[in-house]
Amino acid sequence: MVKNQIPDIVVGRLPRYLQELLHMTQKDQKTTSSQELGERLGISSAQIRKDLSQFGEFGKQGTGYSISYLIEQLQVILKVDKVWDIALIGAGDLGHAIARYQGFKNRGFRVAMVFDNDPAKIGSSIGDFVVQDTANIGTLVEQANIKVAMLTVPVSAAQEVAEALVRAGVRAILNYAPTPLNLPEHVCVQYIDPIVALQHMTYYLG
Amino acid sequence: MVKNQIPDIVVGRLPRYLQELLHMTQKDQKTTSSQELGERLGISSAQIRKDLSQFGEFGKQGTGYSISYLIEQLQVILKVDKVWDIALIGAGDLGHAIARYQGFKNRGFRVAMVFDNDPAKIGSSIGDFVVQDTANIGTLVEQANIKVAMLTVPVSAAQEVAEALVRAGVRAILNYAPTPLNLPEHVCVQYIDPIVALQHMTYYLG
């Protein structure tokens, strides 16, 4: 399969291209160039052309890229030409922020269920959601055929909850708990840890 | 300077090594190997040895790494052998979550100030913080000599607030607003956007 030959680091840049292209359409821009995209994103234009060329021919020499066409193509490549339901586990401060986050719209995702194991939170409302008992992940997530989850639970609970999600059929987990998850190879895991990003920057500070 | 020769992608992996080493010490483990670290992090042991060798000799063939020594060295390299004060701009749901986040401890950072431009929020308390007026970033951040900021403001405010932070002396910004910032080259910017991470994973889903 061609897919396996594309380095993960290239795949990881595509969502950033897509995001910037969406910003451009919001400003009614119709075409762009690898130079312009590169300047906005801090990536070289050669890198952008090379990345995109791995997936096909999206632009013409001299005339650049049609933004709407490139958006459509990237959405298909990243499989966000549909909307993925998300199970959100952990209804603390961060879970609240995510459940109410408006930025999912038109980007391929929506939070569909919110879980917590705290009896004080189960049954309470966050925006449009009623918080479900984490103990019911197995049945609820599987019935709803949810494949994507976001984890905003404490470190101590992360592995156990992640395993329950995988048993229920989840194949992609975005983990906010600052701990690595040990899961079967067919499950994708990405981490969001502000400290990792902060430490990356302080390296460069005098 | 040697520093400039090390690829940014290598620098970006060091905080993940440091994080996993800290987890190991929490479990009273004293030594580790590139194999073990690699398995935990999903990175090849060869890559880890190569990354670390760019900064010095931290382990011995056959005996592996002393965890406490490697932690100390990584903390020095990443400049988190001190505590950096953070200015947090945006006291919405996400700002609340970050202001109350317990995970900063012992990792080189602490939130020192919280700002918002909403009159209803200015003067209110989040945990130990009184929310300050964004209009006072210039004086307050500069007086406190704060170099690191986290941005949890709406997209429409992000660029303007970031410029005010840079004028006040900030040199590293962790941006949660889903929009790229256009800042002078001496300023480091990292982005946290859950959708970028989610789209990276859906690429691999069938």
Across the interface, whether the CB atoms of A197 and B192 are under 8 A apart is answered yes
Q: Do the chains contact at A84 and B198, CB–CB below 8 Å?
A: yes
Residue B3 in this model has a pLDDT that exceeds 60: no
- Say how far residue A112 (Cα) sits from the centre of its chain: 15
3-class DSSP state for residue A190? strand
Backbone angles phi, psi at A53, to 5 degrees: -65, -20
Instruction: Scan residues 43-72 of B and list those with Cβ closer than 8 Å to A.
Output: none
Q: Which residue of B has its CA nearest to A15?
A: B196
Confidence grade of residue B180 (pLDDT, cut at 50, 70, 90):
confident
The whole-number average pLDDT for the span B159-178 is 97
Judging contacts by C-beta atoms under 8 Å, the chain B residues touching residue A87 are: none
How many whole angstroms separate alpha carbon A81 and alpha carbon A67?
A: 15
Nearest CB to B109 within list A16, A178, A198:
A198
* Averaged pLDDT score across all residues of chain B: 92
Percentage of chain B lying above the pLDDT 90 cut:
78
More confident residue, A122 or A182: A122
Question: By the CB < 8 Å criterion, does B80 face chain A?
Answer: yes
What pLDDT, on a 0 to 100 scale, did the predictor assign at position A58?
85
Chain B, residues 141-200, CB within 8 A of chain A, namely: 147-148, 150, 171-172, 174, 178-180, 182, 188-200
What lies within 8 Å, CB to CB, of A75 at 6+ separation is A18, A81, A108
Per-residue pLDDT at B76: 96
pLDDT digits (tens, 9 = 90+) for A51-92: 999 998 887 777 789 999 999 999 999 999 999 999 999 999
pLDDT in tens, A129-138: 999 999 999 9
Could you tell me if the ipTM is greater than 0.85? yes
Flag whether pLDDT at A139 surpasses 70.
yes
CB pairs under 8 A between A and B: 184
pLDDT of A2 over the 60 cut: no
pLDDT of amino acid A66:
94
Q: Is the model's pLDDT at A39 over the cut of 90?
A: no
User: Which of B93, B111, B201 has the most A C-beta neighbours within 10 Å, making it the best mutation to test the interface with A?
Assistant: B201
Are the C-beta atoms of A158 and A168 separated by less than 8 Å?
no
Bridge partner list, B174: B150, B190
Residues from chain A contacting residue B40 (CB–CB below 8 Å): 180, 182
Q: How many angstroms away from the CA of A121 is the closest CA of chain B?
A: 17
Domains and CATH numbers, chain A: 2-77 (1.10.10.10), 84-195 (3.40.50.720)
Q: What is the pLDDT of residue B74?
A: 97
Percent of chain B clearing pLDDT 70 (strictly above): 98
A20 CB within 8 Å of a chain B CB: yes
pTM summary value: 0.85
Q: CB within 8 A of B95, min separation 6: which ones?
A: B88, B89, B114, B116, B126, B152
- Phi and psi angles of residue A88, each rounded to the nearest 5 degrees, phi first: -105, 120
Does A164 score more than 60 pLDDT? yes
Residue A107: predicted pLDDT? 92
Q: Is A19 touching B (CB cutoff 8 A)?
A: yes
Instruction: Identify whether the C-beta of residue A199 lies closer than 8 Å to the C-beta of residue B15.
Output: yes
CB contact under 8 A, B171 and A205: yes
Q: Provide the token pair at A20.
A: 């910037």
- Round to whole Å and give the CA distance between A93 and B77: 32
User: Cβ contacts (< 8 Å) between A147 and chain B: which residues?
Assistant: 205
* Structure token pair of residue A196: 């990792």
